[in-house]
């Protein structure tokens, strides 16, 4: 049963917690769907009206919940095996007890090991019950009925079997069946010899669906809104990209342009959408995705909502650690005709859009190494010219060979590191990125390019005017696309959409969100008047009602770590009206800051569970950084494996914590400051 009948118009206090972080008395080393029931009871006691979770789709052995192998299937790691009817035999319960003993003491859960142990045990249980499960999958059986109601599971099961058979490698590395037609997928599903392996994954999904549905129904009965998280993007290595490549631009990688936190931009590795192909099928893939989510959620968070307006995309030929040569899609392109009308001939258009390599700079890059002899420099320079470059006539200028399509091609050349690094830098040195025969996009750092610096003042003025015109046209296209796509989402289910609208936000985004009554996100530390002196915080009473207010997100530090190591304390204390707070975070500081946030005008004021736990002295980790969920830009076993410091039942016994959260829920919205006006005589 879904939770969509709950009132989503209420003003609520909410908590953000990953399912895997929950500790239940019956969980096995990681939070499981039934733990949401116990956590919901605690939230009801504390008057918390909303629980927001991170994505729960299957990511395989990858711990990041935003790197899903599927848009539909749930993650097996959240399955409570002990509750399965097929697992009631004492031998399975004994193994589960041993698993619990092995994993429960861990401060953070070991995603890989827990997943591996659970799947191994599930394979054993399935094998012992295979005949009964096969019978249930026959016409009229319970499993057969579930499959008919969840047809996506067929593609998922085939994909999961093939991925396991290929040692979990991406489908791009498979020797066979790297691409399949829908008819071939149906034939694979119907293959009698493969039926058991396909039913294994199907049986798990049915059990996950039942456990998650039961938890969602319990939250609903407690009057709690469950908010899910739907990442806009899907992993390149996913069932969806493999089975439906027509829905994606697999040759492109989505990300974000450079900013103060990521000077080289972000390259996430996810394919971008082919919106035309999706529209031709009436967005059925998205509609089905939302229909599945609506079984559990009353609201959902749209991760990176900006991607519905325009997405930053980089060719997969570029290296994965940057997106400097990315572009916005859609974009009102500059054409060759535009440049000709601006007075640029073919040679100068090439100068603007292709990186040019002066002969002397190749030699200089090697001399700067400092350890090469002159003969070695001569040898390495000749190799660079021979392998990477073609000369322009008799000029002392070179272009990259046609065979070089991106940084990865340069990186693959057997060149001295000094000259290779130089060539990688020069590759990005251009004013325009030519991405089709007659389409040009200004590179993010075009002002710094050799070509731009060579222009006269008059030519620069012409270029800037042209760019301004195209940007204005592009923003109109972004608004039109965003409204069209988000309207499809908003009308597809009764779930309340909430948007993660962080980053370089075009002016059209808040207009569209407001028009469609989609809640935006306001993160205290980033919601400031950045262009004003002192970069003041925007008053909490001025936050829009159609918003979700929070002091921290899963990619940021907790409020405690922010306060102790990152925040500009003078500006923050002035903002909250408490200028004499101690530098070391404690429950008193937590109460003042969180109480202030709870008075925001936003409909939902949500807090990470870690930030709420700091209302009690009992739950402080020695190092505040240890309480983070994720550190962006890093890949390790720490990220996404946060666990509660105690079981839910133990937390419920902490009266200081419970009362502290309960008080937050009772705080009324702050009153808007009255502007003094001079009376008329």
Round to whole Å and give the CA distance between 593 and 579.
12
Round to whole Å and give the CA distance between 157 and 135.
18
- What's the pLDDT at 1? 45
- What's the pLDDT at 430? 96
Check whether 599 has a pLDDT greater than 70: yes
Round to whole Å and give the CA distance between 423 and 426.
5
Instruction: Report CA torsion sign: 538, 539, 545, 548.
Output: positive
Within 372-435, residue ranges assigned H as helices are 374-388, 407-412, 417-427
Say if residue 193 is in the same domain as residue 67: yes
Round to whole Å and give the CA distance between 122 and 204.
8
251-277 pLDDT per residue, tens:
999 999 988 778 999 999 999 999 999
Say if residue 110 is in the same domain as residue 239: yes
- What's the pLDDT at 2? 47
- What's the pLDDT at 5? 64
Domain end position, chosen among 421, 451, 470? 470
- What's the pLDDT at 614? 98
- Packed helices 182-190 and 152-165: angle between N→C axes, nearest 10 degrees: 80
| Domain contains 543 | no
| Domain contains 275 | no
341-352 pLDDT per residue, tens:
999 999 999 999
Domain end position, chosen among 186, 215, 243? 243
pTM score of the predicted model: 0.93
- The pLDDT-based confidence of 436 (bands split at 50, 70, 90) is confident
Total domains present in the chain: 2
- What's the pLDDT at 579? 86
Q: What is the DSSP string of 295-355?
A: TT-SEEEEETGGGGT-EEEEETTS-TT--TT-EEES---B-HHHHHHTT--HHHHHHHHS-
Dihedral of CA atoms 339, 344, 350, 356 in degrees, nearest 10, equals: -120
Strand, coil or helix: 550: strand
Measured between its terminal Cα atoms, the distance across the chain in Å is 65
Mean pLDDT for the chain overall: 94
| Helix/strand/coil (H/E/C) assignment for every residue in 581-649 | CCCCCCHHHHHHHHHHHHCCCCCEEEEEHHHHHCCCHHHCCCCHHHHCCCCCCCCCCCCCCCCCCCCHH
Average pLDDT over residues 432-460: 95
Check whether 3 has a pLDDT greater than 50: no
Residue entry with tokens 């299957």: 58
Round to whole Å and give the CA distance between 176 and 300.
37
Domain end position, chosen among 220, 243, 266? 243
Round to whole Å and give the CA distance between 603 and 285.
30
Q: Looking at 401-476, which runs of residues are DSSP E strands? A: 432-436, 439-442
- What's the pLDDT at 514? 96
Q: Which residues contact 594 (CB under 8 A, 6 or more apart)?
A: 551, 559, 607, 611, 612, 615, 664
Higher pLDDT, 423 or 3: 423
Q: Tell me the Ramachandran region of residue 604: left when phi exceeds 0, alpha when psi lies from -120 to 50, beta otherwise.
A: beta
Round to whole Å and give the CA distance between 331 and 472.
10
- Kindly report the CA angle at 443 between 439 and 444, in degrees rounded to 5? 145
Count of CB atoms situated within 10 Å of the CB of 281: 13
Q: Give the domain CATH number at 44.
A: 3.20.20.80
397-411, 570-584, 643-657: least confident range? 570-584
Which residues face 357 on adjacent strands?
398
Say if residue 238 is in the same domain as residue 332: no
| Domain contains 540 | no
| Domain contains 613 | no
What order of strands is seen across the sheet that includes strand 397-400? 356-358, 397-400, 389-391
625-640 pLDDT per residue, tens:
999 999 987 888 999 9
Check whether 234 has a pLDDT greater than 90: yes
290-314 pLDDT per residue, tens:
999 999 999 999 999 999 999 999 9
Check whether 359 has a pLDDT greater than 90: yes
Token couple for 507? 């002016």
Helix (H) / strand (E) containing 487: helix 457-492
What whole-number percentage of the chain has pLDDT above 90? 90
Within 428-456, residue ranges assigned H as helices are 450-453
42-55 pLDDT per residue, tens:
999 999 999 999 99
Check whether 7 has a pLDDT greater than 90: no
| Domain contains 356 | yes
| Domain contains 218 | yes
| Domain contains 17 | yes
Round to whole Å and give the CA distance between 477 and 472.
9
Residue entry with tokens 């697992």: 87
Please list, residue by residue across 215-242, b when 16 or more beta carbons sit within 10 angstroms of its beta carbon and e when fewer do.
Answer: bbbbbbebebbbbbbbbbbbbbbbbbbb
Check whether 677 has a pLDDT greater than 70: no
| Domain contains 137 | yes
Say if residue 84 is in the same domain as residue 185: yes
- The pLDDT-based confidence of 437 (bands split at 50, 70, 90) is confident
Round to whole Å and give the CA distance between 510 and 490.
15
What whole-number percentage of the chain has pLDDT above 70? 98
Length of the chain equals 681
Q: Which residues contact 405 (CB under 8 A, 6 or more apart)?
A: 315, 317
Round to whole Å and give the CA distance between 445 and 462.
18
Say if residue 226 is in the same domain as residue 363: no
Average pLDDT over residues 17-42: 97
Q: Residue 195 is part of which domain span?
A: 12-243
96-133 pLDDT per residue, tens:
999 999 999 999 999 999 999 999 999 999 999 999 99
């Amino acid at each position: 049963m879904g939770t969509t009948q709950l009132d989503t118009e209420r003003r609520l206090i909410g908590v953000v917690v990953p399912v895997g972080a929950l500790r239940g008395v019956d969980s096995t080393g990681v939070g499981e769907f039934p733990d949401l029931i116990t956590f919901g009871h605690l939230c009801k006691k504390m008057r918390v009206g909303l629980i927001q979770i991170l994505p729960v789709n299957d990511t395989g052995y990858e711990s990041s919940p935003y790197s899903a192998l599927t848009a539909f299937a749930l993650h097996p790691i959240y399955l409570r095996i002990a509750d399965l009817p097929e697992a009631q035999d004492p031998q399975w319960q004994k193994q589960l007890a041993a698993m619990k003993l092995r994993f429960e003491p861990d401060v953070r859960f070991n995603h890989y090991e827990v997943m591996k142990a659970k799947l191994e045990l599930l394979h054993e249980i399935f094998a012992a019950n295979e005949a009964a499960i096969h019978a249930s999958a026959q016409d009229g059986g319970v499993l057969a009925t579930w499959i008919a109601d969840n047809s996506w599971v067929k593609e998922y099961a085939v994909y999961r079997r093939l991925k396991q058979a290929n040692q979990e490698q991406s489908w791009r590395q498979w020797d066979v069946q790297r691409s399949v037609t829908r008819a071939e997928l149906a034939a694979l599903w119907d293959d009698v010899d493969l039926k058991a392996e396909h039913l294994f994954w199907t049986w798990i999904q049915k059990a996950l669906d039942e456990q998650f549905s039961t938890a969602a129904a319990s939250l609903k009965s407690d009057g709690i809104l469950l908010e899910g998280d739907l990442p806009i993007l899907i992993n390149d290595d996913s069932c969806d990209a493999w089975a439906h490549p027509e829905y994606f631009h697999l040759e492109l990688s989505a990300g974000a342009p450079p900013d103060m936190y990521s000077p080289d931009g972000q390259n996430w590795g996810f394919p971008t959408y082919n919106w035309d192909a999706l529209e031709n099928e009436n967005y059925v893939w998205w509609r089905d995705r939302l229909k599945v989510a609506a079984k559990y959620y009353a609201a959902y968070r749209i991760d990176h909502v900006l991607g519905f307006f325009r997405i930053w995309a980089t060719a997969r030929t570029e290296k994965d650690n940057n997106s400097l040569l990315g572009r916005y899609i859609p974009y009102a392109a500059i054409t060759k005709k535009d440049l000709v009308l601006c007075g640029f001939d073919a040679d100068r258009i090439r100068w603007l859009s292709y990186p040019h390599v002066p002969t002397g700079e190749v030699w200089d890059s090697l001399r700067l190494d400092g350890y090469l002899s002159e003969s070695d420099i001569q040898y390495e320079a000749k190799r660079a010219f021979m392998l990477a470059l073609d000369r322009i006539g008799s000029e002392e200028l070179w272009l990259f060979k046609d065979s070089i399509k991106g940084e990865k091609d340069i990186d693959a050349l057997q060149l001295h590191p000094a000259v290779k690094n130089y060539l990688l830098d020069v590759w990005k040195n251009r004013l325009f990125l030519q991405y089709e025969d007659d389409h040009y996009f200004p590179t993010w750092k075009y002002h710094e390019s050799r070509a731009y610096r060579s222009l006269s003042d008059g030519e620069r003025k012409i270029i800037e005017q042209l760019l301004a015109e195209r940007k204005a046209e592009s923003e109109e296209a972004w608004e039109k696309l965003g409204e069209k796509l988000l309207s499809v989402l908003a009308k597809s289910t009764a779930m309340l959409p909430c948007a993660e609208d962080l980053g370089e936000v075009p002016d059209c985004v808040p207009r569209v969100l407001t028009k469609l009554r989609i809640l935006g996100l306001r993160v205290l530390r980033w919601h400031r008047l950045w262009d004003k002196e002192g970069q003041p915080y925007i008053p909490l009473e001025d936050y829009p009602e159609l918003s979700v207010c929070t002091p921290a997100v899963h990619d940021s530090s907790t409020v405690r770590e922010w306060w102790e190591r990152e925040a500009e304390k003078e500006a923050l204390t002035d903002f909250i009206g408490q200028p004499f707070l101690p530098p070391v975070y404690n429950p008193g500081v937590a109460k003042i800051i969180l109480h202030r946030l709870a008075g925001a005008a936003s409909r939902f004021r949500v807090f990470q569970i870690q930030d709420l736990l700091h209302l009690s002295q009992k739950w402080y980790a020695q190092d505040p950084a240890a309480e983070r969920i994720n550190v962006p830009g890093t890949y390790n076993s720490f990220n996404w494996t946060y666990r509660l410091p105690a079981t839910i039942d133990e937390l419920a016994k902490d009266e200081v914590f419970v009362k502290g959260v309960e008080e937050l829920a009772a705080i009324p919205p702050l009153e808007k400051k009255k502007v003094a006006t001079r009376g008329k005589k």
